[in-house]
Structure 1
Amino acid sequence: MAATIRDVAKLSDVSVATVSRVINQISTVNPETQKRVKKAMEQLKYEPNLVAQGLASKKTQTIALILPNISNPFFSDIVRAVEDVAQSNGFTVILCNSDGLVSKEQSYIEVLRKKYIDGIVFASNTLRIEDIEQLKKDNISLVVLDYSSTMESCSIIRAKNREGARMAVSHLLEIGCKKIAHIYGPIGDQTAKNRLEGYEEMVHSFSWYSPTLLVPGHFTINGGFEATKMLLEKHPDVDGIFAGNDLMAVGVLKALHQMGKKIPEDLAVCGFDGIYLTEITQPELTTIAQPIYELGEKAAKILINKINGLLEEDNVYELDVTLIKRDSTIKAH
């Protein structure tokens, strides 16, 4: 039969209330008494009731991960990393898929606040300043993936999106592209905005540049497909496309195949993210690869450190990206 808190109290010769205070790390307990209680817990192999402990301390060893779209392989890798870190630190993860909807995200936040959640990782472009302020009042730690650096009141983890976009365009120019278009993600998404800005920094001085070379693709395969058809109707002489994420780039490849274009001889394509799909497309897709697992891993580690009181300052952490050259830009000799 499993040991109870009363068994621990009896063996350590203290009250049940004192054992409870030791379990919940309340500092009013004498250090010698704490040692005696912890030794009794070890001898009896006593496992505290986490639910009861959570109610007393408002800590449940539980974190949440709010994502806009779990079907995107990028976020699948983020989930894996966060779960791995959480499990190794004794935390449970609640996964919330917001579909990029403010109303759905607000509903999740309200529910999580009532559940004594310890912290939240947001991979979201709909998080509001007022949400951050309220969560801090509730003593709920948070870390945000890919968000604006103007939000100084929380820790932010992101890749070097603007720099990666410049790398993509530079590569397309180096292989001889004379007119490069950009298919961008959702308006209001900070990641999409930074990648678009990186593209414009590289091409705005060219005589061929026009704002009509910018086409929305909504970060989806179908969005990239439709954007490519619209783009080439206006600019049939485009010979390079930088897609703001790999899903849109997959849609670009699909559209070009249907239009009878040779890749990369007629038109070269570069994506961004480095998801596994880029290795199985025909042709394989050149991409700017983020360290996706590392992003999720770092976010989870920082969040848990904040929960445990080991990190107080909020910082912006930017991780390097890498150009991976594949057949969608490497012309056959």
Structure 2
Amino acid sequence: MAGIKDVAARAGVSISTVSRVFNGHENISDEKRKAVLEAADVLGYSANSLAASLRRKSSNVVGVLLASQGSPFGTMLHTAIGNTLSDRGYLPMVCSTLGEDDRQDEYVRTLLEMQVGGVIIRPSGSLSITTRHAANLEREGVPVVFVESAPRKKSVSFVVSANKVGGQLAIRRLWELGHRKIGIMIMPCDVKYHPNRPVSHRLEGALETARELGIADGIVLSPDMPGERFDYGYMAAKRMLREHPELTAIFAMTDMMGTGALYAARETGLSVPEDISVLGYDGLPLSEMTFPPMATVSQSVDLMGQTAADLLINRLEGSETKSVQRTLNPHLIERESLAPAPKTT
């Protein structure tokens, strides 16, 4: 009996295109639809055959491994990936790993058993373990694309932001505005346990630029204390502002921490940006909704998700056979939380 691959080969289209034709997807050209239906007629292929084929190999299903869908960043990334996949006839299956390696391992085994077409991974736990999972998937013929964070290997496909450049951009802009005493907010555990992750690269770029500009002695790093992104930003900023009243700016490694810092500054009796400037990182919509609206280094999360989905689809549909690496350049969005350093009396 002819299968979905046979129809796709005869019609000169991808397997996913055959799937979309039989599922009544509208985003198909008349030429391709006609070619698929004619090939199916010649081969005696039917919608029932398609259903059986998809049960045997879910080639239009894409696994999406994320740490969580609950954070603003995770939600934005998941939405961009999911919309791009759906628009092109694929079904995203989102798996929340919660940053746990065992949970990720279980999801990978399940996705292999389901014979999904491909997998997009945002690493959350151990990067080395995630890399091994990706290698296992690729060996089984399941293409993988990393997003937001990736190992330094040319043999894997990934889409990341130039995080070191973003850190450099932030400190240089603060320096241009006259800030010489700058607090940098980063959860120490992020650097300690995940040295090859985005925030670590941002810190590297920030400290490197501070040294180049001769203001390294004026940099204060946030303390090691408990709390998630917003809570940590709030509590750590209050402590930093209390212990270092000389600070004129805070550079937060995420918008969530930056939002916490804004609240802390207000409770400390400081006016933003008259007394202290606050600069976040990510470019999330929430940064526009703070009071005052928060300046941020945007890493174009939407574009990152869309590009990751496009790279995987290109692999699935045969237009790209080798691994592809894309690095997106961040850009600064200036808003009311950023201003020249206050003049000293």
Give the counterpart letter for 1:159 in structure 2.
S
Give the counterpart letter for 1:199 in structure 2.
A
Give the counterpart letter for 2:103 in structure 1.
K
Cα deviation, residue 236, structure 1: 2.3
> Aligned partners of 1:19 and 1:160: how far apart in 2?
44
Which of residues 173, 195, 204 is equivalent to 2:211? Answer: 204
Cα deviation, residue 23, structure 1: 3.5
Aligned to 2:257: 248
Cα deviation, residue 210, structure 1: 6.7
**For each residue in 1:63-91, what CA deviation from the matched residue of structure 2 results, as whole angstroms up to 9, or x when unmatched?**
01111121222222222221222122211
Aligned to 1:47: 47
Instruction: Give the match's secondary structure for 1:209.
Output: helix
Query: Do the aligned partners of 2:148 and 2:304 also contact (CA within 8 Å) in 1?
Result: no
User: Do structure 1's residue 262 and structure 2's residue 276 form an aligned pair?
Assistant: no
> Aligned partners of 2:333 and 2:264: how far apart in 1?
22
**Aligned residues: CA RMSD:** 2.9
> Aligned partners of 1:194 and 1:123: how far apart in 2?
16
Between 252-261 and 18-27, the greater mean CA deviation after superposition: 18-27
Aligned to 1:5: none
Which of residues 195, 201, 212 is equivalent to 1:194? Answer: 201
Instruction: Give the match's secondary structure for 2:281.
Output: strand
Cα deviation, residue 36, structure 1: 9.8
> Aligned partners of 1:26 and 1:55: how far apart in 2?
21
Aligned to 1:281: 290
Q: Which has the larger radius of gyration?
A: 1
TM-score (norm 1): 0.83
Which of residues 114, 132, 135 is equivalent to 1:133? Answer: 135
> Aligned partners of 2:4 and 2:158: how far apart in 1?
36
Query: Do the aligned partners of 1:54 and 1:116 also contact (CA within 8 Å) in 2?
Result: no
> Aligned partners of 1:208 and 1:85: how far apart in 2?
43
Alignment of 1:58-69 (within 5 A): 58-69=57-68
Instruction: Give the match's secondary structure for 1:66.
Output: strand
Aligned to 2:121: 122
Q: 1:19 to 1:156 in 2, by over 3 A?
A: closer
Give the counterpart letter for 1:308 in structure 2.
E
Q: 1:175 to 1:123 in 2, by over 3 A?
A: same
> Aligned partners of 2:309 and 2:4: how far apart in 1?
28
> Aligned partners of 1:329 and 1:215: how far apart in 2?
23
TM-score (norm 2): 0.80
Between 261-270 and 206-215, the greater mean CA deviation after superposition: 206-215
Aligned to 1:228: 237
User: Do structure 1's residue 165 and structure 2's residue 167 form an aligned pair?
Assistant: yes
Give the counterpart letter for 1:252 in structure 2.
A
Query: Do the aligned partners of 1:222 and 1:248 also contact (CA within 8 Å) in 2?
Result: yes
Between 72-81 and 130-139, the greater mean CA deviation after superposition: 72-81
Cα deviation, residue 49, structure 1: 4.5
**Structure 1: runs of 5 or more not aligned:** 1-16, 28-34
User: Do structure 1's residue 22 and structure 2's residue 6 form an aligned pair?
Assistant: yes
Cα deviation, residue 198, structure 1: 1.0
> Aligned partners of 2:228 and 2:119: how far apart in 1?
24
> Aligned partners of 1:88 and 1:133: how far apart in 2?
28
Between 259-268 and 296-305, the greater mean CA deviation after superposition: 259-268
| Paired positions, count | 309
Cα deviation, residue 95, structure 1: 1.1
Q: 1:181 to 1:36 in 2, by over 3 A?
A: closer
Aligned to 1:144: 146
Instruction: Give the match's secondary structure for 1:270.
Output: strand
> Aligned partners of 1:91 and 1:216: how far apart in 2?
43
Q: 1:331 to 1:20 in 2, by over 3 A?
A: closer
Q: 1:42 to 1:318 in 2, by over 3 A?
A: same
Aligned to 2:316: 307
Cα deviation, residue 211, structure 1: 7.3
Aligned to 2:328: 319
Q: 1:111 to 1:216 in 2, by over 3 A?
A: farther
Between 229-238 and 40-49, the greater mean CA deviation after superposition: 40-49
> Aligned partners of 1:210 and 1:173: how far apart in 2?
11
Query: Do the aligned partners of 2:3 and 2:53 also contact (CA within 8 Å) in 1?
Result: no
> Aligned partners of 1:41 and 1:313: how far apart in 2?
30
Cα deviation, residue 25, structure 1: 4.2
Q: 1:40 to 1:242 in 2, by over 3 A?
A: closer
Give the counterpart letter for 1:99 in structure 2.
L
Give the counterpart letter for 2:322 in structure 1.
E
**Structure 2: runs of 5 or more not aligned:** 12-33
Query: Do the aligned partners of 2:185 and 2:253 also contact (CA within 8 Å) in 1?
Result: yes
> Aligned partners of 1:211 and 1:238: how far apart in 2?
9
Instruction: Give the match's secondary structure for 1:60.
Output: coil
**For each residue in 1:245-275, what CA deviation from the matched residue of structure 2 results, as whole angstroms up to 9, or x when unmatched?**
1011001111111111111122111001111
